[in-house]
Amino acid sequence: MRTWIGVGVLGLVTSGCGLVTAREAREAVVEAARSSGYQRVTDTPIELTTTVTLGDRVEAATEALADWWRSQAACAEVTVEGAAVRVDHGVLDDGCTWQGRGWQGVHTLTLTDLGPPIALEHRWEGFGDDLTTVDGIARVRWDLDALERQVITDLDWATDDRTTAVTGEHAYRLLDPDLGLLGGVVLDGSRSWEVAQAPWDLQMEGIELRWVDPAPQAGTFTVTTPRGAEVGITFRRVGPATIRATVDGTRRSWSFDVTLVGVELVEG
């Protein structure tokens, strides 16, 4: 699984629980990586949908969405019911490809307000690729002339080793509008999830994500661990496919190299 991790300059702040250990620092980096890595599945359909030119009536707008999806995912089954468009990608064995990868599951888009701003609900059922699948909803609001999209999510993400319930609220914009999603996105906002009933919380500020990188290239993550400590993580590029993550503490700091194959302690 590819890992995407936030970046920034922020110290480690501790509660009464004491300083964060090297093991806890690495765990915070890995958990932040996992939570961000999931986004590659849903950000593509969300962003591409905001580029569709919609009509001024619900019926016309819905048909425009359906026609666009038929043109983009020709092997998927696209149907319309009222203000909803249902895109069924089938199963991976069907060989249905989209955006250069195999996809599976169902993605339903429902227009809730033609605005401005436009409001659209995305619902996913077993949707994803061979690495990650998602169930749940994302509510998106945007203006056709706006550069920023507002997204509220309530999703269950599944990989080979676990399923994670993640909620979030964030704004994002394209890092390079001329390149579209290939150029990456910038995120601000929050995200929460649980591991073995232990809560994690993540605050994002100016996170720059490029899907070709193993980690974001700029921005700030503040991670609140299950025991209440706030962990600040800084990142810098040290190679074409390597990002160095530094967790700073009041008395100690640790650095980890993040690559496509994992996270390795290099200093601390």
Q: pLDDT per position in the chain (268 positions), as tens?
A: 333 333 332 333 333 344 678 888 888 888 887 877 777 788 888 888 888 877 778 888 999 999 999 988 878 999 999 999 999 999 988 877 777 778 899 999 999 998 788 999 999 999 998 888 999 999 999 887 778 899 999 999 998 888 999 999 999 988 888 888 888 889 999 999 988 888 999 999 998 888 778 788 888 889 898 988 888 988 888 998 898 888 875 567 889 998 888 889 887 6
Per-residue model confidence (pLDDT) at position 10: 31
Structure token digits, residue 99: 């955006």
Contacts of 243 (CB under 8 A, 6+ apart): 5, 7, 213, 214, 215, 216, 217, 235, 236, 237, 257, 258, 259
Flag whether 16 is in a domain: no
Range of the domain at 221: 22-267
| Chain-centroid distance, C-alpha 11 | 24
Contact between residue 120 and residue 137 where contact means Cβ atoms under 8 Å apart: no
Q: Is residue 11 situated within a structural domain?
A: no
pTM as predicted: 0.82
Q: Which two tokens stand for residue 212?
A: 């070709």
pLDDT of residue 249: 59
In whole angstroms, give the CA distance from residue 263 to residue 3: 9
Indicate whether 3 belongs to any domain.
Answer: no
Report the number of distinct structural domains present in the chain: 1
Whether 97 contacts 75, CB under 8 Å: yes
d(C-alpha 157, C-alpha 36), whole Å: 11
Alpha helices in the chain (DSSP H): 22-37, 39-49, 58-72
Residue 17 lies in a domain: no
| Residue with tokens 């509660």, as numbered in its chain | 15
Q: Write down the pLDDT at residue 79.
A: 96
Per-residue buried b or exposed e for 186-223, using 16+ beta carbons within 10 Å of the residue's own CB: bbbbebebeeeeeebebbbbebbbbbebbbbbbbbbbb
CA-based nearest residue to 83, from 106, 66, 69, 107? 66
